[in-house]
Amino acid sequence: MPVILGGAATSSDTIMLLWRCGPNQTAPSPRHAFMSSDIKKQHRDSFTSSFGVLAATLGSAVGLGNIWKVPYLTGANGGAGFLLIYLLATLAIGLPVMIAEIAIGRRGHANPITALQTIAPHQGPWWLIGVAGMIGSFLIVSFYSEVAAWVFAYVIKALGGTLLSSDPNVTAAAFEALIQHPLRSLIWQWVVLGLIGGILTMGVTKGIEAVTKRLMPLLFLLLLVLCGVSLSLEQAATGLAFLFKPDFSRLTTTAVLTAMGLAFFKLSIGMGTMMTYGSYFKREQNIPVTAFRVMCADMAVSLLAGIAIFPAVFTFGFAPEAGPSLVFITLPAVFSQLPMGQAFMAAFFVLTAVAATGALLSLIEVPVAILHERLRISRRRATALTLTLLALPSAGAALSQSLLANTRIAGLNLFELFDFLSSNIVLPVGGIFIALFVGWVWGRNNFRAALSNDGLLANQQLANAIFILLRYISPILILLIMGKGLKLF
Ligand code: PHE
C-alpha cells in the first residue's frame, strides 16, 4: 500500500500541518488521521548494517570541514595551539552532545521535531530544537553547497589541466573567474544540489547508505596517497612542526570560540543531523562506541588533511595563513610543482568532492525527513520542496562574490554571514538546548536506558558520566565560550 497519499499540500496548509501534526496532537482532518495510522504501520527506511551506520555517520562528519575549514583555520590561527583547543572542545563538549543527539533520534525513531515530541510529550516546546535545526540546515547548505560547487568545478578543471600553474596569481585569477561569475556559481551550485537531491530521493538505505558505503573507503585511500606524497617533500618537517607544535601566544578568545564552533560543525551536531541519523540506527547499535569511532576517524581525516597540505605549502614557499582560499588558490599552485601534479590535484579535488557529498546528504536529510514525515508527502516531494526552499538563501551565498558583493550585514557578505551564524551561534545554542533537554527533562534513567540498549550493554557508568557532563558542564562551557568569543561579557 503506498504510504504517501494526496497531492502536495498548499503552502498555508503545509505550515499548519508541519506544526500541528505531531504524534500527540490530533490530526486536523479524518483524511490525515487515516494517513497517520497508515504511516505508523509502515516500515521505516533505515541503515541496514553496522558498516552502513558507520559509513553514513562518518560521511556526515567528514566533509569540507576537514579539508577546507580545519586547514585554513589552523593556518590562520597559528597552528597547533588552535588544533589542541579544537581537540579539547571535541572531547569535552562535542562527543557528549553527539551521543545525546543519536540517543534522542533512535528513541524517538522519527525526524527531530517528532522525536522530541515523542520522547518528552507535554513537557514544553523542546521540539523547537528540531525547527531550529531545520533553519540551521538551510543556513549551512546555502554556503556549503557553494564551496562544494567550487570543488566540483575544480575536479573538471584539474582533469582538464587548466589549473596547472605554479604562479599563485594565475591560480587566483582562475578562482576569481569562477566565483565572480554569477551564472557559473549558480549553475555549479545546482549541479551539486541536484546530485544530492537525486541520491536523497532514493531513500536512506538505497541512497544515503549505499552511496556513503562506497565513497568513504575511496576517501581514505586518496587521502593516504596524498599524505605519502606530501611527507616525501623537502620541507615536510616544517609543515609537521607547524601542525603539531603549539604556539599559544596566537590563541585569542575569538580563536577559542572558532575552535568550539568548528567542533560542532565537524561532528555535525547542534542542528538535528545526528538526531535524524540516530533515528535510522539499528536497535542493537552501540551508540557511545559508534560516536567515539566516528569522532576518532573524523579527527584522523582532519589531521591527515593537514599532513597532506602543510608540508607541501611550506616546501613551495607559500603562506599557511591564506584563509578560505588556501585550498583553491594555494594548493593548485603547490600541486603544479609536483611530479604527476595534475593527477594528484585531480585526486585531491575528487577526495574533497566525496567528502562534501556525504556531509551534504546529511545536511539536507534533516529538512527532507521533517517534511516527509510531518507533511506526509513522499521523499521525492519532500526533497523537491526542500530544494525549492533552498533556492533563495543558497543563491544569496552563491552570488555574494558577484552581484551581491555589496550586500553586507555587520561587515560580512551573505556567504560569510551564514557561515558565522551557523557555526558560532546556531550550532552551539542548539548544543546547549540538547544538553539541557537530556540533563533536565529526559532524565538520567531514560538516557541510561537508551545508551545501554535497554540494559543489554553494560555501560551504566559511562552513561552516568556523559549524563553529568550534559547536565552541568556542557551548557555552562558552551555559554562561557560563546559569551567570551562574542564579547558579550
Ligand atoms: N561535518 C560536516 C563537515 O565537516 C559539516 C556538517 C555540519 C554536516 C552540520 C552536517 C551538519 O564538513
Residue pair 444/464 in contact by the 8 Å Cβ criterion: yes
For ligand 1, pick from 102, 137, 145, 265 the residue to mutate: most ligand atoms within 8 Å of CB: 265
DSSP assigned state of 422: I
Residue 265, ligand 1, Cβ within 6 A: yes
Q: Is the CB of 269 under 6 A from ligand 1?
A: no
pLDDT band at 186 (very low <50, low <70, confident <90, very high): very high
Better-predicted residue by pLDDT, 467 or 329: 467
> What is the band of 16 on the pLDDT scale with cuts at 50, 70, 90?
very low
CB of 439 shorter than 6 A to ligand 1: no
Residue 13 in this model has a pLDDT that exceeds 60? no
Partners of residue 409 on adjacent β-strands: 412
Task: Give the pLDDT band of residue 325 (cuts 50, 70, 90).
Answer: confident
pLDDT digit string (tens) for 369-418?
999 999 999 999 999 999 999 999 999 999 999 999 999 999 999 999 99
Q: Domain of 439: which CATH number?
A: 1.20.1740.10
**Residues 224-233: tens digit of each pLDDT:** 999 998 899 8
Q: Is the dihedral of CA 258, 259, 262, 263 positive or negative?
A: negative
17 within some domain: no
Instruction: Extract the C-alpha cell encoding 155.
Output: 575536479
Predicted confidence (pLDDT) per residue in 88-113, tens digit: 999 999 999 999 999 999 999 999 99
Alpha helices in 247-340 (DSSP H): 253-266, 273-278, 287-315, 330-335
Asked if residue 12 belongs to a domain, the reply is no
140 lines ligand 1 (CB under 6 A): yes
Domain enclosing residue 406, as ranges: 44-485
Kindly state whether residue 4 falls inside one of the protein's structural domains: no
Q: Is residue 39 part of a domain?
A: no
Confidence of residue 251 (pLDDT cuts 50, 70, 90): confident
Ligand 1 pocket, 185 CB below 6 A?
Answer: no
Whose cell is 573507503? That residue is 217
Greatest alpha-carbon span in the chain: 73
- Asked whether 6 and 31 are in contact (CB, 8 A), the reply is yes
Cβ(60) to ligand 1 under 6 A? yes
250 band by pLDDT with thresholds 50, 70 and 90: confident
pLDDT computed for residue 17 by the predictor: 45
**pLDDT for 143-153, tens place per residue?**
999 999 999 99
Ligand 1 centroid, distance to 139 Cα (angstroms): 12
* pLDDT greater than 50 at residue 65: yes
Q: Are 291 and 281 in contact (CB under 8 A)?
A: no
Nearest to 428 by CA among 252, 256, 224, 184: 256
pLDDT digits (tens, 9 = 90+) for 69-80: 898 888 888 888
The confidence score (pLDDT) of residue 375 equals 98
Confidence of residue 84 (pLDDT cuts 50, 70, 90): very high
Answer yes or no: pTM beyond 0.75: yes
How many Å lie between the centroid of ligand 1 and the Cα of residue 470?
21
Whether the CB-CB separation of 192 and 360 falls below 8 Å is answered with: yes
Mean pLDDT of the chain: 89
Give the lowest-confidence range in 320-334, 380-394, 415-429.
320-334
61 Cβ below 6 A of ligand 1: yes
Kindly state the average pLDDT of the residues 328-338: 89
By most ligand atoms within 8 Å of CB, the mutation choice from 362, 364, 365 for ligand 1 is 362
Taking CB atoms within 8 Å and a gap of at least 24, the contacts of 291-295 are 291/57, 291/95, 291/98, 291/99, 291/102, 292/95, 293/54, 293/58, 294/54, 294/57, 294/58, 294/61, 294/98, 294/267, 295/61, 295/90, 295/91, 295/94, 295/95, 295/98, 295/267
Number of domains comprising the chain: 1
Residue 237 lies in a domain: yes
- Percentage of residues of the chain with pLDDT beyond 70: 91
Q: Residue 26: what pLDDT?
A: 38
Measure 268 CA to ligand 1 centroid, in angstroms: 4
47 Cβ below 6 A of ligand 1: no
Residue 19: pLDDT band with limits 50, 70, 90: very low
Residues 394/142, Cβ–Cβ less than 8 Å: yes
pLDDT band of residue 42 (cuts 50, 70, 90) is: low
Residue 27 domain-assigned (yes or no): no
Residue 305 Cα to ligand 1 midpoint, Å, equals: 16
Q: Residue 444 burial by CB count (10 A; 0-12/13-18/19+): exposed, middle or buried?
A: middle
Amino acid code (one letter) for 373? E
User: What is the enclosing helix (H) or strand (E) of 340?
Assistant: none
Q: Is 474 a member of any domain?
A: yes
359 lines ligand 1 (CB under 6 A): yes
pLDDT at 41 over 60: no
Whole-number pLDDT of residue 474: 94
For atom 11 of ligand 1, the residue with the nearest CA is 268
CA 135–ligand 1 middle distance (angstroms): 14
Which is higher by pLDDT, 166 or 291? 291
Q: Which of 363, 419, 434 maximizes ligand 1 atoms within 8 Å of its Cβ, making it the mutation to test the pocket?
A: 363
Q: For residue 61, give the ligand 1 atom closest to its CA.
A: 1
Does any ligand 1 atom lie closer than 6 A to the CB of residue 273?
A: yes
Q: Residue 18 domain-assigned?
A: no
Ligand 1 and 63: CB distance under 6 A: yes
- The response to whether residue 268 sits with its C-beta less than 6 Å from ligand 1 reads yes
- Residue 252, pLDDT score: 86
